[in-house]
Amino acid sequence: MLYNYSGVLHIHTKYSDGSADFRRIAKAAHKSGARFIVINDHDTLQGLYQEGEQYLNGILVLVGSEVTPERNHFLCYDINSVPDNKLQPREYVQEVYRQGGFGFLAHPDQKSNPLFPAKMHWENWDLDMPYGIEVWNYFSQWMSSFKTKRGLLKSFLFPKLCLAPPQPQTLWRWDQLGKTRIVPAIAGVDAHGGRQFGWIPNILSSYLYQFKTLRTHVVCQNPLRGDLAADRSNILCALKKGCCYLVNHLADQVEHFSFYLQDAEQCWQMGDEVTHKPGLVLRVKLPVKAHIKIIKDGKIFTQSKAKSLRLPNPQPGVYRVEVYKGRFWPRPWIFSNHIYLREAVK
């Protein structure tokens, strides 16, 4: 039996440029329906030292960091200290893995905005390390959704309209990297909180609103039982492996989504590498009917409007799923991690 847990990643607190402590943020997460959150304050683990990883309001609170030079930001997890952001990208990524941690390129293809000209994209993807990618970032998309003051006002008042699919170039690079190694992916909110503006649904309104946008759902072999050490290991192992899928909760919530590969005896999940052999079947299962696309090696392999999809005898390749929901205006809903079907070695 597998267990699905919905989490919010890439959150900033009062220990960098956010507006609340762990307890207030966990309270917002509880109201949003999340099961866990991961803090990524800029260049610090102060929140870990001051408040610690713990359960608050029934929410598992985990702490990482975000290495933030001018550009080439890197989300890192399971570390003891934050690498110096004055190092070269290869050096601080290497330092994260040297500590036994892991990480993700943050908002790697964020577009610059003439009203906020800071450039925070990732410049150098040629790193000889098993890094992952934050392929979907809510705040990054919001920042890229306007170029004029009038557009800023529209985005400020109606942020739901800003949430598009992940950047095509990010998805393409992710698919190409997957041809040679496992490349885990996450969705980040990049939440900073802010003043409470009551009913106005804008990016600055509250952590609660932002937590209802993008989620990363992990798929675990064991349930969360309230044991901090065991549950922490459960969540981090799933994120590190890419045994997770990304959900736009503004399109719809989802309790269970399945994308797996099986034969008569065994079943493999997202993040698994499998050697090709006869008799394999790829399966997709949704809670409701929607537009399913199976992507192979960066290109649409097959698609259908259905509640489930079955692909018998898939050939070697890197497979993932995109799901869109809505009749007249299909909205991006679910993006899976890859299943890596490798050619048999002769």
Residue 344: Cβ within 10 Å count: 8
Does the residue 269 lie in any domain? yes
* pLDDT of 198: 42
Residue 105, judged by CB atoms within 10 A of its CB (0-12, 13-18, 19+), counts as buried
Identify which of 120, 229, 230, 133 has the alpha carbon closest to the alpha carbon of residue 177.
Answer: 133
Q: What is the DSSP letter of 221?
A: S
Domain match, 218 and 265 both: no
* pLDDT of 113: 65
C-alpha distances out from residue 162 to 47, 133, 139, Å: 31, 21, 10
Can you tell me the distance from the alpha carbon of 152 to that of 150, in angstroms, rounded to the nearest whole number?
Answer: 5
Residue 156: Cβ within 10 Å count: 18
Does the residue 253 lie in any domain? no
Cα of first residue to Cα of last residue in the chain, in angstroms, is 34
| pLDDT in single tens digits along all 346 residues of the chain | 899 999 999 999 999 988 899 999 999 999 999 999 999 999 999 999 999 999 999 999 999 999 999 989 999 999 999 999 999 999 999 999 999 999 999 999 987 666 555 667 898 888 888 999 999 999 888 777 666 667 666 666 666 667 889 999 999 999 999 999 999 999 999 998 864 444 444 445 589 989 999 999 999 999 999 999 999 999 999 999 999 999 999 999 998 899 999 999 999 999 999 999 999 999 999 999 999 999 999 999 999 999 999 999 999 999 999 999 988 888 999 999 999 999 988 7
Domain match, 321 and 178 both: no
Helix (H, G, I), strand (E, B) or coil at 231: helix
Q: Which CATH number covers residue 285?
A: 2.60.40.10
Element (H, E) at 188: strand 185-188
Domain match, 242 and 285 both: no
Domain match, 289 and 186 both: no
Domain match, 164 and 184 both: yes
The answer to whether the beta carbons of residues 290 and 311 sit under 8 Å apart is: no
Domain match, 237 and 282 both: no
Helix (H, G, I), strand (E, B) or coil at 164: coil
Instruction: From 248, 274, 292, give the residue that closes a domain.
Output: 248
Can you tell me the distance from the alpha carbon of 241 to that of 102, in angstroms, rounded to the nearest whole number?
Answer: 10
Does the residue 306 lie in any domain? yes
* pLDDT of 154: 65
Domain count, the chain: 2
* pLDDT of 200: 44
Identify which of 200, 335, 199, 194 has the alpha carbon closest to the alpha carbon of residue 270.
Answer: 335
Residue 301, judged by CB atoms within 10 A of its CB (0-12, 13-18, 19+), counts as middle
| Long-range contact pairs involving 325-332 (C-beta distance under 8 Å, separation at least 24) | 325/251, 325/252, 325/288, 325/290, 325/291, 326/251, 330/291, 331/163, 331/248, 331/250, 331/251, 332/163, 332/164, 332/165, 332/166, 332/248, 332/251
Instruction: From 215, 248, 281, give the residue that closes a domain.
Output: 248
Can you tell me the distance from the alpha carbon of 199 to that of 189, in angstroms, rounded to the nearest whole number?
Answer: 20
Domain match, 265 and 235 both: no
Q: Which CATH number covers residue 136?
A: 3.20.20.140
The answer to whether the beta carbons of residues 213 and 250 sit under 8 Å apart is: yes
The answer to whether the beta carbons of residues 51 and 39 sit under 8 Å apart is: no
* pLDDT of 197: 43
Instruction: From 223, 248, 273, give the residue that closes a domain.
Output: 248
Identify residue 122 by its one-letter amino acid code: W
The answer to whether the beta carbons of residues 189 and 214 sit under 8 Å apart is: yes
Half-sphere exposure of 190 (CA within 13 A, CB side): 20
Identify which of 185, 168, 135 has the alpha carbon closest to the alpha carbon of residue 299.
Answer: 168
Helix (H, G, I), strand (E, B) or coil at 239: helix
Taking the model in full, what pTM does it have?
Answer: 0.94
What tokens does 136 get? 């979907």
* pLDDT of 199: 43
Does the residue 262 lie in any domain? yes
Range of the domain at 295: 258-342
Rounded to the nearest 5°, which phi and psi values hold at 105? Answer: -60, 125
